[in-house]
Amino acid sequence: MIEKIPIVDIGEIGLESESPSLESFQKVGVQLDSAFREIGFVYLGNHGLNPSTVAKGMESSRNFFLQSDEIKSNFKREINTGDIAGWVAQGREYFNEDGQDIFEIRESFDIFSLEDDAKIPESLDREDDLKIYQTLGAEAIQLTSRLLKALSLALGKDIDYLNDLHRNMMKAGNKTSMRTLFYPPIEGSIQSGSIRCGAHSDYGTLTLLFQDKYPGLQVKSAHENVWIDAPPLKGKLMVNIGDLLEMWTDGLYPATIHRVIIPEEELSRKCARQSIVFFVHPDDQVLIKPLRTEENCDKSYVTALQHVEKRFAQTFKY
């Protein structure tokens, strides 16, 4: 039977709850645990993130991407020089875990810091843009912290176990990032092998995904080896597992492969598609080994930084 991505109401620990109880974290943790074991993806209801903040982020992002490539090049990401923040032009990043010969139609912008001197997608007013991303980032970090508490309990750990490994989100010494994505309109015939985003898993602990109203996201069922549509649901936030949490849980929570296809419906093709992604990573030097592993195990494990640098080297083309 083909799975459906589950919906979990997290109102008891959402941002509108001022001080969630231990019982609330335990209750939500059980539901998240069930969803992540099954497919690695979940829709969250009553998460408490301000929809106005998300809408402003989408608008600021769109204003940036609609500028000329010449202007956007002033903000380009240059991973070969160590500058990993900024604009990623079409063709600079390549996901292909399906092994297909594909052509990706998208561009993006990566933000790793929310400080005043951060590299952000500047469009009309840098000060306003910065405030928008700072607000959205702060809310995403707060919600992530609550999700990590629920998952710590579900995994049999102290409530702050995972939070203690993610102390520096969006700061130095941690590769948590906010990515704005832009899939341009597609007019006329489509080049063979074209896709909006190729098949891949995410690199970190968790991913929070804000979608616009357009379809295209698909999740690969590990049980039946088929693609499942993951359309945007009004008021719902999508969250999925990344490589590092799969490694931590020894495969209990799968880092499910996903992609963004070009819709069959012509009207959706002709509209630009947007999303904002919050990639949650542990602090750089955190050692990633299964939670059930004995402390004196002498097997060699990677750090969070080593894993993300390996994945960047595999996907970025400079």
Q: Mean pLDDT throughout 249-267?
A: 87
pLDDT of residue 268 exceeding 80: no
| Tens digit of each residue's pLDDT (9 = 90 or more) over 192-241 | 678 899 899 999 999 999 999 999 999 998 777 899 999 999 999 999 99
Three-state DSSP state, 316: strand
Q: Letter for the amino acid at 49? A: L
What domains can be seen in the chain, in order of their start residue?
7-315 (2.60.120.330)
Say which range, 65-79, 108-122, 221-235, 282-296, has the weakest mean pLDDT. Answer: 282-296
Numbers of helices and strands, H then E, in the chain: 7, 16
pLDDT of residue 296 exceeding 80: no
Q: What is the pLDDT of residue 231?
A: 94
Q: What is the pLDDT of residue 128?
A: 87
User: Cα 126 vs. chain centroid, distance in angstroms?
Assistant: 24
From CA 200, how far away is CA 25, in angstroms rounded? 30
Q: Which helix (H) or strand (E) holds 55?
A: helix 51-65
181 forms bridges with which residues in the sheet? 108, 275
From CA 96, how far away is CA 297, in angstroms rounded? 34
pLDDT of residue 160 exceeding 80: yes
267-271 — which CB contacts under 8 Å span 24+ positions?
Answer: 268/214, 268/215, 268/216, 269/185, 269/186, 270/185, 270/186, 270/187, 271/185, 271/214
From CA 133, how far away is CA 111, in angstroms rounded? 9
Q: What is the pLDDT of residue 18?
A: 93
| Tens digit of each residue's pLDDT (9 = 90 or more) over 42-97 | 999 999 999 999 999 999 999 999 999 999 999 988 766 667 899 999 877 777 66
Query: Both tokens of residue 177?
Result: 């990032």
pLDDT of residue 155 exceeding 90: yes
* Number of Cβ atoms within 10 Å of the Cβ of 105: 20
* Torsion sign (Cα): 30, 170, 49, 119: negative
Chain position carrying tokens 């904002």 = 276
Three-state DSSP state, 78: strand
Q: Mean pLDDT throughout 135-145?
A: 97
Q: What is the pLDDT of residue 77?
A: 85
pLDDT of residue 147 exceeding 60: yes
| Tens digit of each residue's pLDDT (9 = 90 or more) over 166-185 | 999 999 999 999 999 999 98
For the chain, give the mean pLDDT.
90
Three-state DSSP state, 1: coil
Q: Tell me the percentage of the chain whose pLDDT exceeds 90.
A: 70
Q: What is the pLDDT of residue 299?
A: 65
Q: What is the pLDDT of residue 79?
A: 64
pLDDT of residue 298 exceeding 70: no
pLDDT of residue 126 exceeding 90: no
Q: Tell me the percentage of the chain whose pLDDT exceeds 70.
A: 91
Model confidence pTM above 0.85: yes
Q: Mean pLDDT throughout 264-283?
A: 86
Q: What is the pLDDT of residue 222?
A: 74
